[in-house]
Structure 1
Amino acid sequence: MKTLMKLAMVTTALMTISSVVQAKETVVWWDFLGGGDGVRMKALIDEFNKENGDNIEIQATTLEWGTPFYTKAQTSAAVGEGPDVMTYHISRLPLGVSTNTLSEITADDLASVGLKAEDYAPANWQAAQVDGKQYAIPFDIHSIILYYNKDKLKAAGLLGDDGLPKGLDGVDNFKAALQKLKDGGSQYGVSIHSAAGDSQWRIFYSLLNQQDGKFFADGKFLDGDNLDKAVKATQVVADWVKEGLAPSNTEYPASIALFTSGEAAMHINGVWEVPTFTDLAAKGQLGFEWGAVALPTFFDHPATWADSHSFVIPNNVGKDMTPEKRKAVMEVIAWMNKHSLAWAGAGHIPAYGPVRDSAEFKALQPNATYSVLADTAAFDPVSTLAGVASPVYDAAGNYMVPAINGEMDPQQAIEDLRDDLQAQVE
């Protein structure tokens, strides 16, 4: 009898242990984050596992950024071999939805972890939807900003008492400021990455949206007067280059070096370079005091190109996710959003409002200064041809880059760009 009782107790204990083991969910994670972004994300994953490892453990893999990542995401989901959660550029959602790569995130999913639309900037939340359905949870907003050398702007009378640039709004005013900076001894008023389509797209799309231009609508690229607005946006940058106010055919590292060396008084680039300048300044290797602000308003109102790193749940065909697993995935997404202050150190603006509105973020400079971009962000057109590493970016390289570098007439370049992309729709 005692033997039977011992056996029963052992069996019960084993069943209890088995139950505990089964209660722990492993969340398979894919991202495309390298460099400083990758370091920060790995630290967040380690912190999550440290806090939640008894119940949920993230098993993370980093894959190659760009087209290779999105191709692998699509093919793996199609055969049920994708991860449980992955990072995704919001600009690529239309393609992901069209290929059945992504699972809809429902109202019940959001409610299960206390996330709601009101916690995000309206444009950011809408950009995470396709046809009114939610397919992503934004993690950040990353945009282009204007970096500036405070010493050079002060000497040119372009720095206010608050340490922020002044007199830069308006196409003519900005151009005059560039000339004043050049006349004051700078080789260039502003350095730009003028040799590649991705950087030029970001500037172009900002200037187009400041005119309320529509790049793609109702199945048509640059229809009606949108073409004229696109030409005008392209001409602005072409004039900078033509008049020697910005460098021509300059690669990415060289565009940064022109600013860090003091040869360019300002620099237009993504928020992701904030850590570069922060680190150089901390090491005493910059040689001047720098700052960063939202892109000036060249036309009718503020608007700046933006994208978001976001979280999505792959639609793994033939592999249903258990309710427990889905809840664990949502817990991971919610935790990352609520701890995104650490991610802001990479220059990004937290998408999650409570973090963006926190005293800790408002003390983070220059991020807090340019965080107004959350309310003026212009996300990429909703099209399967748009977004990171897309045909639109390719077209920007093929047509906009020659146009701004004086190798092609802006009017002809934008017409050719429109025709090229429209042919891919039809």
Structure 2
Amino acid sequence: MKHKIGKLAAATALATVLAGPTWAQVDVEWWDFLGGGDGVRMKALIEQFNDEHPDIQISATTLEWGLPFYTKVRTAVAVGQGPDIMTYHLSRLPLALEEGVLSPITAEDLETAGLSTSDFFEATITAASTDDGALMAIPFDIHAVVTYYNRTALEGTEWIDADGNLTNLSSVEDMTGLLTWAKDNGFSDPLSFQSEGGGGTWRMFYTLLRQQGGEMLTDGEVLAGDNMDKAVKSIQVLADWRAAGLIPEQASYEASVGLFSGKRSVLHINGVWEVPTFKDSAEADTLGYEWFANEVPQLLDSPATWADSHAFAIPNDDDMSQETRDAVLTIIGWMEKHSLAWAGAGHIPAYKPTVDSSEYATLQPNATYASLANNAAFDPRSKIAGVGSPIYDAVDNLIAPAVHGFLSPEEAAGQMKDQLQSLLD
């Protein structure tokens, strides 16, 4: 009789399983703009989360990066058709505040996610908050420009130390000396970066500006006071390097990467997101030399490096249920605590416990350039700044031409000031 009861119980249990789970599943709509290696890693994280959380299932959609993504978000949220969670660049936060597309993250929300603001690098929390301290997104990473370099070519020179890191680069003159040496030793474009287009040129210009303590915007004024002189100096440095043949003429993004991979550049300044590219090339033995990456050297008055952050944001939707919001916060907390996998894309996790972990310490070159988290120079807090913004357009139309000799640095900085100021007045 016991045997028959046991068989009956097993059959009942099987029927329950076949009929479906007994929990109430929460479906969460997710939007991101992550392509390439970022997209591969995020899809893997989403799949792992879904496997581990049968009660919460993420349905993810990847949209076009940049301005198209943010236009879609603005339109969708306005008509109540936005996602439940989305990735967001913190450089876009000021414009998001003006558009009213984000829902504030409360202390109770952080508690639900199992997080606190002290878990994150201070610069990221500042960038994710309003001027009065209201948190509007939860940072996921810091992605900045770093200096990739050909270790093999620099071996035995004064610019590499016993540990294989860059050294003796503490002024513009020092950098010019290295690049001139490289030019004389067969590197046709000693320092490569995206010199065609606003993105790469902006990151170079802004890094040099911030290393002088310069500010693009001060109390609503563009390049106020001596910031104009600092902007001119930043452009002049790049223009001098271009005139001497030390940086490429109007290199597209892909071409700039190719110059370094093809041993035509000894240095390459680009985002940390290219780490997987060079790792894959090295593992496939197609690079032909040893590479590494360090924080961008301090060439001027203080350490600073252009940076931005991918963050998680919740759209401003009064109709979102508490159940869905709690599910979203559970997802965010889980992602932060699994951000070591995201670091594989080259990014520095914004979640400090990951960066402080022994596992992260073995991740190279990430662990070596993680110091830049303390020197991250985020874009100006303004509606005219950030990814796909008017500042990028102004750099593309004015600063890049000045670097290539079509305008003087003074003309470019002056016209940029006038153009951007008109958008704020």
Could you state the TM-score of these two structures normalised by the residue count of structure 2? 0.94
Matching residue of 1:328: 327
2:266 alignment partner, SS class: strand
Matching residue of 2:10: none
Distance in 2 separating the partners of 1:158 and 1:213: 27
Matching residue of 1:184: 185
After TM superposition, the structure 1 = structure 2 runs for residues 258-297 of structure 1, keeping only pairs within 5 Å, are: 258-297=259-298
Tell me by how many angstroms 1:248 deviates.
Answer: 1.4
The answer as to whether partners of 1:156 and 1:181 remain within 8 angstroms in 2 is: no
Matching residue of 2:112: 112
Q: Aligned letter for 1:405?
A: H
After TM superposition, the structure 1 = structure 2 runs for residues 21-420 of structure 1, keeping only pairs within 5 Å, are: 21=23, 23-52=24-53, 54-131=54-131, 132-316=133-317, 319-420=318-419
Moved more, 78-87 or 183-192: 183-192
Distance in 1 separating the partners of 2:285 and 2:296: 27
The answer as to whether partners of 2:85 and 2:313 remain within 8 angstroms in 1 is: yes
Q: Aligned letter for 1:64?
A: E
Tell me by how many angstroms 1:113 deviates.
Answer: 2.1
Tell me by how many angstroms 1:247 deviates.
Answer: 1.0
Closer/same/farther in 2, CA of residues 80 and 245 from structure 1, 3 Å limit: same
Distance in 2 separating the partners of 1:68 and 1:188: 33
Distance in 1 separating the partners of 2:256 and 2:170: 23
* Structure 2, gaps ≥5 residues long: 1-14
Matching residue of 2:8: none
Q: Aligned letter for 2:324?
A: K
Tell me by how many angstroms 1:184 deviates.
Answer: 2.2
The answer as to whether partners of 1:56 and 1:328 remain within 8 angstroms in 2 is: yes
Distance in 2 separating the partners of 1:144 and 1:164: 16
Distance in 1 separating the partners of 2:138 and 2:193: 31
Closer/same/farther in 2, CA of residues 322 and 236 from structure 1, 3 Å limit: same
> Which string of whole-angstrom CA distances, capped at 9 and with x for unpartnered residues, describes residues 268-322 of structure 1?
1111111110000000000000010000101111100100110000013xx5222
Matching residue of 1:422: 421
2:86 alignment partner, SS class: strand
> Which string of whole-angstrom CA distances, capped at 9 and with x for unpartnered residues, describes residues 94-123 of structure 1?
111111111111111011222111111111
> Which string of whole-angstrom CA distances, capped at 9 and with x for unpartnered residues, describes residues 146-198 of structure 1?
00001211254321111011111211111111111212222132112111111
2:293 alignment partner, SS class: strand
The answer as to whether partners of 1:259 and 1:267 remain within 8 angstroms in 2 is: yes
Q: Aligned letter for 1:361?
A: Y
After TM superposition, the structure 1 = structure 2 runs for residues 9-28 of structure 1, keeping only pairs within 5 Å, are: 20-21=22-23, 23-28=24-29
Distance in 1 separating the partners of 2:245 and 2:403: 12
Q: Aligned letter for 1:312?
A: A
Distance in 2 separating the partners of 1:66 and 1:113: 28
Tell me by how many angstroms 1:346 deviates.
Answer: 0.7
Matching residue of 2:12: none
Distance in 2 separating the partners of 1:18 and 1:104: 36
RMSD across aligned positions (CA): 1.6
Tell me by how many angstroms 1:207 deviates.
Answer: 1.1
The answer as to whether partners of 2:211 and 2:303 remain within 8 angstroms in 1 is: yes
Q: Aligned letter for 1:354?
A: P
Q: Aligned letter for 1:353?
A: K
> Which string of whole-angstrom CA distances, capped at 9 and with x for unpartnered residues, describes residues 381-419 of structure 1?
000110001111111101110011111101110110010
Tell me by how many angstroms 1:250 deviates.
Answer: 1.2
1:145 alignment partner, SS class: strand
> Which string of whole-angstrom CA distances, capped at 9 and with x for unpartnered residues, describes residues 55-105 of structure 1?
111111111111111011011111111000000000001111111111111
Tell me by how many angstroms 1:18 deviates.
Answer: 10
Distance in 2 separating the partners of 1:404 and 1:344: 33
Matching residue of 2:5: none
Distance in 1 separating the partners of 2:255 and 2:74: 35
The answer as to whether partners of 2:158 and 2:168 remain within 8 angstroms in 1 is: no
The answer as to whether partners of 2:103 and 2:314 remain within 8 angstroms in 1 is: yes
Tell me by how many angstroms 1:238 deviates.
Answer: 1.0
Tell me by how many angstroms 1:359 deviates.
Answer: 0.8
1:130 alignment partner, SS class: coil
Distance in 2 separating the partners of 1:152 and 1:418: 41
1:146 alignment partner, SS class: strand
Matching residue of 2:3: none
Could you state the TM-score of these two structures normalised by the residue count of structure 1? 0.93
Q: Aligned letter for 1:228?
A: D
